[in-house]
Structure 1
Amino acid sequence: MAGNSQRRGAVRRTGSKKGAQVGSGGQRRRGLEGKGPTPKASDRPNHKAYTKPDRSSSRSKSGSGGRKKSGGSEIVAGRNPVIEALRAEVPVSTMYVAGRVESDDRVREALTIAASRGLPVLETPRTELDRITDGATHQGLAIQVPPYEYAHPSDFVQVAGADAPLVVALDGITDPRNLGAIIRSVAAFGGHGVVVPSRRSVGMTASAWKTSAGAAVRVPVAQASNLTRALEDYRKAGFFVVGLDMDGDVELPGLSLATEPLVVVVGSEGKGLSRLVRETCDQIVSIPMSSAVESLNAGMAVGVTMYEISRRRADA
């Protein structure tokens, strides 16, 4: 076109720092190149099948402890939580104390308990303790709780010295304090074990240990990969399975199965028993209450039920 015969297009000036360059710099050519095979659905963050990578293994290799992962250890941070855990005899693998920590009665008591129990105590730089506790307010003190060693549900089928084993199973309970309270009731009223599902359920955390007030040392907790199947196995072994629900077939004082080998199933306060678990039960039992109260939480419901079963067995 007339007047534009000398136009050179996108050209840097000769005196520019990067020098002259004509064209796209190869960007168009690279854009046409293949990008390799499509990643698996589980490796694509925006796909519904994506699974987040587990970094607990890399942390454990570095010896940093870390927050609780599935089947891993748990860190309890802070002076009051640490003291409460130690007083409740929560199992501890290591105690971490920040270097040059300002000592008070809680720190001195923690060190005294650790010495009496023979627990390893590590003096740790504060920055390292920040990393170990994942930024929690540790106040210079933390403990590492090792993974809980679960029993197997079949361990409760034949209990030494028990003609009628008594087991409590949890369906959808997610609060560790409820688990701790249930363990305490099981220990108080002659139960032999607790069964929890391995998925979408509470596990044996430091909070559950503390709430059990030491009962977790005496009452084993089993983990079932499939709760419904575990209940069916108990029935095949001669157990009766009863579920607790507001709309029960019988009220608790009329439970005629109390003296038999028994599994008591309790559901969450909001959702109750799941459909499959409910269909597996031999009886659905309700606790008679005043109309002013809608329901009891799981820990209280198990405590009342365990007391009534214990009373019926003592009178038999």
Structure 2
Amino acid sequence: MSKKEKRLKYAGKGGPKRAKLAKLSGGEGIWLFGVHAVNAALRNPERTCRRLVATEDRVKELDPALLARVKKVETSDRQGIDALLPPGTVHQGLALAVNPLPDLSFDDLKRSAFIKDRAVLVMLDQVTDPQNVGAVLRSAAAFAALGVIMQDRFAPPESGALAKAASGGLESVPLARVVNLSKALEELKAEGFVAIGLEATAEKTLPELAPLPKKVVLVLGSEGEGMRQKQRETCSLLARLPMVTEGPVDSLNVSNAAAIALYEAGRG
């Protein structure tokens, strides 16, 4: 069977068919959208893919083996896809209904870190914006971080906006939710991790701490308030990013700060 025939197979006899698209009902999962987020989800064996709605051009670009993972494939124009998603969504002609990923326990993350010679983790304290969390996951994937840790009551739910900002990182970087961040830090320190809190008023810059330990957890707070006192006190060290002292900008978006810190941690 040719690739073209395989593709048409998923749309039914006679080729792709358009019909009135039904929105997701309760319990049918969440929509992911955008080329990178959808392709990464299709490649993730842990992801249950329920329904793909795409333009004909986008369907033709997809590997038939990936299409075979989807229970239902539908074609539509961009306006039809617009109607399925929140207003203003930039979907690039692809929307994929999926089940949320299985939860990763903090203990599982610790076990995977234990067997590594080098490991970098990221902990986010009260970072609630899904696009910021997604961007941190993207940087974590780019710099081979082992995982991201968040407090469950402040962690945004998995969503299309988060996945799109992560640009595939949501599918490859484990995200663990815990009840108590300071307790999690203590447990990681007991496993040999050095907890470095990013703090704008810290005496030393992160590069000045080089070479960094082989096992590091980078702790970042929200842009407005930074780390909370308990997490600050639990960190092994505090460091700031090297910025122009009297420049026009005195802070960075948390996702930008995470990217710089992850780069430094990766240098060792």
Instruction: Report the TM-score when normalising by structure 2.
Output: 0.71
Shift of 1:179: 1.9
For the residues of structure 2 that align with 1:116 and 1:173, how far apart are their CA atoms?
37
Instruction: Report the TM-score when normalising by structure 1.
Output: 0.61
Which structure has more relative contact order (CA 8 Å, sep 6+)? It is: 2
For the residues of structure 1 that align with 2:207 and 2:183, how far apart are their CA atoms?
28
Shift of 1:198: 0.9
Specify every segment of 5 or more residues in structure 2 that has no aligned partner in the other structure, as ranges.
1-21
Instruction: Specify the alignment match of 1:86 in structure 2.
Output: 38
Specify every segment of 5 or more residues in structure 1 that has no aligned partner in the other structure, as ranges.
1-62, 98-105
Contact in 2 for aligned 1:243/1:281 (Cα 8 Å): yes
Contact in 2 for aligned 1:179/1:208 (Cα 8 Å): yes
Instruction: Specify the alignment match of 2:127 in structure 1.
Output: 173
For residues 1-316 of structure 1, what are the structure 2 equivalents within 5 Å? Answer: 65-66=24-25, 73-76=29-32, 81=33, 85-89=37-41, 91=47, 93-95=49-51, 107-112=55-60, 113=62, 116-117=65-66, 118=68, 119-121=70-72, 133=84, 143-158=96-111, 159=113, 162-256=116-210, 258-290=212-244, 291=246, 292-311=248-267, 313=268
Partner AA of 2:254 in structure 1: A
Shift of 1:133: 4.9
Over the matched positions of the two proteins, sequence identity in percent amounts to: 29
CA pair 64-88 structure 1, distance change in 2 beyond 3 A: same
Shift of 1:168: 0.5
Contact in 2 for aligned 1:247/1:286 (Cα 8 Å): yes
Shift of 1:214: 2.3
Computing the radius of gyration from Cα coordinates, the structure with the larger value is 1
Partner AA of 1:149 in structure 2: P
Shift of 1:201: 2.2
For the residues of structure 2 that align with 1:82 and 1:191, how far apart are their CA atoms?
23
Residue-by-residue CA offset, 1:220-264 (whole Å, 9 max, x unaligned): 111112222211211222222111111114211112571242111
Instruction: Specify the alignment match of 2:19 in structure 1.
Output: none
Residue-by-residue CA offset, 1:72-93 (whole Å, 9 max, x unaligned): 83235xxxx4556424546562
